[in-house]
Structure 1
Amino acid sequence: MHDVARVAGVSIKTVSNVVNDYPYVRDDTRRRVQEAIAKLSYRPNVSARGLRSGRTGVIALAVPALRENYFAEMADHIIRLADTRGVGVVVEQTGGHRDAEILAISGGRRRLTDGLLLSPVNLGQLDVDMLDVDYPLVLLGDRIFNGPTDHVAIHNTAAARAGVEHLLSLGRRRIAILGGSDDDPAQPSSASLRLAGYREALAAAGVPEDPALIRPLLHWTRDAGSEAVHALVAEGVAFDGLFALNDTLALGALRGLAREGVTVPDDVAVLGFDNIDEARFSVPSLSSVDAGKEQIAETALDLLLERISEKGPRKDPRTVQPAFSVVARESTGFGGGDV
Structure 2
Amino acid sequence: MIPYGRQDIQPPDIEAVLEVLHSDFLTQGPMVPRFERAVANKVGAGHALAVNSATSALHIACLALGLGEGDWLWTSPVTFVASANCGRYCGARVDFVDIDPRTYNLCPEVLEKKLSEAEKAGRLPKVLVAVHLCGQPCDMQAIHALGQRYGFRIIEDASHAIGGKYQREYIGSGRYSDITVFSFHPVKIITTAEGGMALTNDETLATRMNLLRSHGVTRDPELMTQEADGPWYYQQVELGFNYRMTELQAALGVTQLERLDDYVATRNRLAERYDALLAELPVITPWQHADSYSGRHLYVIRLDLEAIWTSHCQVFEALRERGIGVNLHYIPVHTQPYYRALGFTPGDFPEAERYYAEAISLPLYPTMTEAQQDEVVKALRQSLEAA
TM over 0.5: no
CA radius of gyration, larger in: 1
TM-score (norm 2): 0.31
Higher helix content, 1 or 2: 1
TM-score (norm 1): 0.34
RCO comparison, higher one (Cα < 8 Å, 6+): 2
